[in-house]
Amino acid sequence: MPDFDTSVPHIARIYDYWLGGKDNFAADREAAERAMAATPTIVPGCGPTGASSDARSGTWPRRASASSSTSGPASRPRTNADDPYQLVADLMDSVPPGSFLTVTHPARDQVDIATKAEESLTKSMGQKVTFRTREQVSRFFSGLALADPGLVAIQDWRADSALDLSSAPTAMWGGVGRKS
């Protein structure tokens, strides 16, 4: 028996569902569908499951073709009260030089309807979901050297085709930083 309540949606499992993963439950799928209905242009690019959505057509995969790793179904979301910036700084302090930090984070400032998605997820999950501005997400990389192209909308991360460059906004910031 799991040590967590599968009837309560969890952001990691919702994200897993959006990316076509297998580590989610009915409550997660229902919350994900409600958020997508409220914000049809918000489409994640790729994430911890190794699956990716087709951002150009706006479709959401339901099955990952790549093998899916767990996205931490039992992990709890961190709130601002937990000081997420300090948590990340402590994590990076504990790893050797040359280590990388990869962040994808819901964006408050990329599309007008992001606030609607944040509210929908918060209501569905019964706990605060936090979207952040680019400036706020950049604080996670304090003291790290950002890899090119820096902290950008995830559809712009090393985009290699005209389709990538003209895809709809995803409302996700992404970046990779290296510890010196």
pLDDT tens readout for residues 135-169 = 999 999 999 999 999 999 888 888 777 776 677 77
Reduce the DSSP state of residue 18 to 3 states and report it. Answer: helix
Report the amino acid identity of residue 75. S
Whole-number Å distance between alpha carbons of 33 and 19: 12
Whole-number Å distance between alpha carbons of 174 and 180: 20
Model confidence band, residue 76 (pLDDT cutoffs 50, 70, 90): low
- Average pLDDT for the chain: 76
Single pTM value for the model? 0.65
pLDDT tens readout for residues 42-60 = 444 333 333 333 332 333 3
Q: Show the domains of the chain with their CATH numbers.
A: 11-178 (3.40.50.150)
Model confidence band, residue 74 (pLDDT cutoffs 50, 70, 90): very low
